Amino acid sequence: MSMYLMNDRFVKNDEVSISIEDRGYYFGDGVYEVIRVYGGIMFTAEEHIGRMYESAEKIRMTLPYGPEEMLSKLTRLIEENAIREGHVYVQATRGSAPRVHQFPGEDITPVITAYTKSYPEVPVVPEPAKLKSVDDVRWLRCDIKSLNLLANVMAKQEAHEAGCLEALLHRDGTVTEGSSSNMFGVKDGVIYTHPVSNFILNGITRRVIMQCCEEIGQPVAEEPMSLEDVYSMDEFFMSSTTNGILPVSEIDGQKVGEGTPGPVTKRLMAAFEAKLPEPAPTR
Ligand code: PMP
């Protein structure tokens, strides 16, 4: 039976108990992270945990223990559950208190929970993705990895119903990111992606990609693309913790390039994979 992290304890499934008055349940009042595990090792764990504490600070929430303790607890959880390929999900809510919008008193402490998910040992290589453009109607603090994901859920569902893997979000025709990913276009050998701002989540995979680009001498322009631009890109790809770099074959029913991963995307994928902790048998 899987173990879960519940504040500072490791408990079994049937011992996890969350109050109906948890502010995560009422308001989505909290933050979260997903950290990928490759060969039993968390990838970019410090960066993810760092972002979680930054998100918590941005919503004025103080977690009951610090990033080092979080890292050691998540490491233990992965060991307890013997995760080789998979991920760990961790969230913190502002705690449990009678439902009023303003923060509860100082005596109420955040509730931290974490679980692990195992992936098949032989990774399933996902097909190049199809995207559907969707209006980005989210709030103006997309830099916070908040539990409030209603607009992301609605956008993903709209894409899903159109037979697409992901929504390509845009604000008045300016592409921001995906509902759970960052977006990149390639034109004449240059990678374009939205700059880091309050309009996007500063993805950890995005950060690794920027580092890879620097290392392999790949030009990058942190400039937003317009929705019109994306249809004429030579290549397009998306990034996230769970999928790494995923090539995009189609946007709104229009083929990107030849509809197959292009040379820039492939080179970047190789540079990215070289950074992963331990290659699985088929990688
Ligand atoms: N943007 C959004 C809105 C996301 O939910 C995610 C997934 N966490 C990303 C971008 C990609 O971020 P990361 O590479 O850190 O998973």
pLDDT in tens, 215-258: 999 999 999 999 999 999 999 999 999 999 999 999 999 999 99
- Per-residue pLDDT averaged across 52-70, rounded? 98
Residue 283 resides in a domain: no
User: How far is Cα of residue 148 from the mean position of the Cα atoms in its chain?
Assistant: 14
Q: Hey, which of 35, 144, 240 would you mutate to test ligand 1's pocket, going by the most ligand atoms within 8 Å of its Cβ?
A: 240
**Domain range spanning residue 26?**
3-118
Ligand 1, atom nearest to 207 Cα: 14
Same domain, 133 and 85: no
Q: Hey, which of 180, 204, 246 would you mutate to test ligand 1's pocket, going by the most ligand atoms within 8 Å of its Cβ?
A: 180
Count of Cβ atoms closer than 10 Å to residue 278 Cβ: 12
Same domain, 178 and 244: yes
203 CA to centre of ligand 1 in angstroms: 5
Interhelix angle 263-273/204-216, rounded to 10 degrees, is 110
What pLDDT does residue 139 have?
98
- Per-residue pLDDT averaged across 167-191, rounded? 98
Token couple for 49: 């945990």
58 labelled catalytic: no
15 CA to centre of ligand 1 in angstroms: 30
| Residues in CB range of 245: below 8 A, 6 or more apart | 205, 209, 237, 238, 239, 265, 268, 269, 272
Last residue within a domain, chosen from 70, 89, 118: 118
Give the active site residue among 73, 130, 132, 145.
145
pLDDT digits (tens, 9 = 90+) for 189-222: 999 999 999 999 999 999 999 999 999 999 999 9
Residue 167, phi then psi, degrees to nearest 5: -90, 135
Residue 123 resides in a domain: no
- 144 within 8 A of 151, measured Cβ to Cβ: no
167 CA to centre of ligand 1 in angstroms: 13
Same domain, 143 and 98: no
240 CA to centre of ligand 1 in angstroms: 5
**How many folded domains does the chain comprise?**
2
Same domain, 110 and 148: no
Last residue within a domain, chosen from 118, 152, 183: 118
What pLDDT does residue 122 have?
80
What pLDDT does residue 121 have?
79
Q: How many CA atoms lie within 13 A of 228 on its CB side?
A: 1
- 210 within 8 A of 220, measured Cβ to Cβ: yes
Is residue 283 pLDDT above 50, yes or no? no
Token couple for 65: 């223990």
- Per-residue pLDDT averaged across 26-35, rounded? 98
- Which residues form ligand 1's pocket by a CB distance below 6 Å? 34, 152, 177, 180-182, 201, 203-206, 239-241
Same domain, 209 and 90: no
Q: Which residue type sits at 134? A: V
Burial 42-51 (b: 16+ CB within 10 A, else e): bbbbebbbbb
Ligand 1, atom nearest to 205 Cα: 14
Q: What is the CATH number of the domain that holds 242?
A: 3.20.10.10
Is residue 170 pLDDT above 90, yes or no? yes
What pLDDT does residue 279 have?
56
Which residue has tokens 């990033």?
Answer: 67
What pLDDT does residue 124 have?
83
Residue 69 resides in a domain: yes
- 87 within 8 A of 34, measured Cβ to Cβ: yes
Distance CA 75, CA 58 (A): 25
Q: Hey, which of 48, 137, 182 would you mutate to test ligand 1's pocket, going by the most ligand atoms within 8 Å of its Cβ?
A: 182
Residue 1: pLDDT band with limits 50, 70, 90: confident
pLDDT digits (tens, 9 = 90+) for 138-162: 999 999 999 999 999 999 999 999 9
Q: What is the CATH number of the domain that holds 34?
A: 3.30.470.10
82 CA to centre of ligand 1 in angstroms: 25
Residue 124 resides in a domain: no
Same domain, 80 and 156: no
Residue with CA closest to ligand 1 atom 8: 180
